[in-house]
Amino acid sequence: MTEEKTYSARIGHLEELREVARELLCSYGEERFFAFFGKMGVGKTTLIKEMCEELGSEDVVCSPTFAIVNEYATGEGRPIYHFDFYRLKNEEEAYDIGYEEYFYSGEYCFTEWTEKVEGLLPERYVRVELREENGERFLESWLVKL
């Protein structure tokens, strides 16, 4: 496995998220799979919402905690898949929702609670880690190639 650290940011205010979303997407150019890691309440869904808006989506972006996956559209009408694996008990449940069709579609995939399905991730993905310290958020990301 190789990892290349490409982008990191300190986020002091929510107003900064749009720029962070833009820079994160630009830093990874053609990459389409973004795996988010971080504790509950750290801002994973909020950042994904900003990334979707940056991609031109006009859809209401919210956590798919109960649905497991939400589908939005980019400004060009291409799908964006947003997963929340928090409620999964094991990786087998990801098979039940047909994760492969989404993960290998070539379209944008944003996953939350990715640690629940880490063994199913594609061979190439962007790992995005968020953490909170003293009211500030810190983002670090890597392009992972298995």
From first to last of its 146 residues, the chain has per-residue pLDDT tens of 776 768 999 998 888 999 999 999 999 999 999 999 999 999 999 999 999 999 999 999 999 988 999 999 999 999 999 999 999 999 999 999 999 999 999 999 999 999 999 999 999 999 999 999 998 999 999 999 98
- The side-by-side arrangement of strands in the sheet containing 124-133 is 2-11, 136-145, 124-133, 33-37, 108-112, 79-84, 69-73
**Beta strand pairing call for 108-112 and 79-84:** parallel
Task: Map residue 85 onto helix, strand or coil.
Answer: coil
Phi and psi, residue 16, nearest 5°: -80, -10
Q: Whose CA is closest to 126, among 111, 137, 138?
A: 111
pTM: 0.94
